[in-house]
Amino acid sequence: MGHGHSHGVPVGSAASAHRGRLLLAALVTAVFLAVEVVTALATGSLTLLSDAGHMVTDLAGLLLAYAAITIGGRASARPGRTYGLYRMETLAALANALLLFGVAAYVAIEALSRLRDPVAVPAGPMLAVAALGLAVNVGAYALLRSGAQASLAVRAAATEVFADAIGSAGVLVAGLVIAFTGARWVDPVVALLLAALILPRTWRLARQALRVLVQAAPEHVDVAEVERSLGALPDVVDVHDLHVWTLTSGMEVATAHVAVEPGTDVHPVLEAAQTLLAERYGIAHATVQVEPVDRSACREVQW
């Protein structure tokens, strides 16, 4: 009987290398948020207020991601935490998505109310803050873009920053229209559009986080194909009790029982299975148990 773990590919949180960029983006966002809130309250602009709401979630998302990555990176000396705290990154991503849903709902309700009773909003402050906000968001997104490809937590923060960049562009457009036409309905309409624009990205983010939390197989991994590939290895006669899931961004995990004929040398089978999972499917942490086909005890407990 053979049992082994594959660690051929370096394993670690994909987000840990981006902590510094997250913190820098958070500091820049916090400074701008203060400016935008003051301007929104002074002018009564719902568009600015909705954008400030996005900025609040941006800042919360950046800080949550930073905290989650910092905590998650500590594998913890406690023996009960066998996987450390890596799932904190995914919880932070889900919290960010819920925040965005809440902000979108508030802005939509307030915008519909203002359509019935439009409020005059000065265009000058809107234009100045929108231009500054767009620059801040573009800069923050540039800092996070590379990390968003590797980490769900960083992707969550980058998604919010990107959504707010669209918001700043919307504020800019609204300010220009108000400056040239004086139309009061523009402010709530643009705010409503901004609320609608962030929902698809927010839904995708929440869905990705939930897939990790319910331990569904990664979207890029076809579990049936993995089972067939393992079953096609030399000397393998059966594959069962196969599980594939994601611990956190960039950390796919698998366990499998691989059956061989009695008397088969299990070491080549074990090495071939681990190499297949690591190289073909990117599953660096694979626990594979190789056992004789006539051993049926493990089949009695299958989830």
Are 149 and 196 contained in the same domain? Answer: yes
Within a domain: 183: yes
Q: How many CB atoms lie within 10 A of CB 83?
A: 14
Partners of 10 in beta bridges: none
Are 264 and 243 contained in the same domain? Answer: yes
Are 80 and 173 contained in the same domain? Answer: yes
Helix (H) or strand (E) holding 3: strand 2-6
Highest mean pLDDT among 69-83, 141-155, 169-183, 212-226: 212-226
Are 124 and 225 contained in the same domain? Answer: no
Are 82 and 108 contained in the same domain? Answer: yes
Q: Number of C-alpha atoms within 13 angstroms, CB side, residue 241?
A: 17
Report pLDDT for 73.
57
Strands 285-292 vs 251-260: parallel, antiparallel or unpaired: parallel
Residue 249 has pLDDT above 90, yes or no: no
Mean pLDDT throughout 104-113? 82
- Per the structure block, which two tokens stand in for 228? 């067939």
Write out the DSSP string of 90-119.
HHHHHHHHHHHHHHHHHHHHHHHHHHHS--
CATH code for the domain of 229: 3.30.70.1350
Report pLDDT for 12.
44
Instruction: State the total domains in the chain.
Output: 2
Q: How many CB atoms lie within 10 A of CB 288?
A: 26
What is the residue range of 278's domain?
217-300
pLDDT band at residue 8 using 50, 70 and 90 as cut-offs: very low
Are 69 and 164 contained in the same domain? Answer: yes
Q: Which residues contact 7 (CB under 8 A, 6 or more apart)?
A: 284, 285
Within a domain: 6: no
pLDDT band at residue 94 using 50, 70 and 90 as cut-offs: confident
Q: Give per-residue pLDDT as tens, 111-140.
A: 888 788 777 777 888 888 888 888 888 888
Kindly report the three-state secondary structure assignment for every residue of 279-297: HHHCCCEEEEEEEECCCCH
Report pLDDT for 224.
94
DSSP 3-state of 250: coil
Within a domain: 7: no
Mean pLDDT throughout 287-301? 73
Within a domain: 4: no
Q: Give per-residue pLDDT as tens, 11-62.
A: 344 555 667 778 888 888 899 889 888 888 888 777 787 777 777 777 877 8
DSSP 3-state of 44: coil
Are 84 and 191 contained in the same domain? Answer: yes
CATH code for the domain of 195: 1.20.1510.10
292-296, long-range: CB < 8 A, 24+ apart: 292/1, 292/259, 292/260, 292/261, 292/262, 292/263, 292/264, 293/237, 293/238, 293/259, 293/260, 293/261, 293/262, 294/262, 295/1, 295/259
Are 192 and 292 contained in the same domain? Answer: no
pLDDT band at residue 161 using 50, 70 and 90 as cut-offs: confident
Are 118 and 267 contained in the same domain? Answer: no
pLDDT band at residue 300 using 50, 70 and 90 as cut-offs: low
Residue 275 has pLDDT above 90, yes or no: yes
Within a domain: 10: no
Where is the domain boundary, 161, 190, 213? 213
Residue 78 has pLDDT above 60, yes or no: yes
| Cα radius of gyration (the chain) | 25
Report pLDDT for 113.
81
Residue 232 has pLDDT above 90, yes or no: yes
Indicate left, alpha or beta for 120 from its phi (over 0: left) and psi (-120 to 50: alpha): beta
Where is the domain boundary, 213, 244, 269? 213
Report pLDDT for 111.
81
64 close to 95: Cβ distance less than 8 angstroms: yes
Where is the domain boundary, 184, 213, 242? 213
Write out the DSSP string of 47-90.
HHHHHHHHHHHHHHHHHHHHHHHHHHT---S-TT-TTTTTTHHH
Are 208 and 246 contained in the same domain? Answer: no
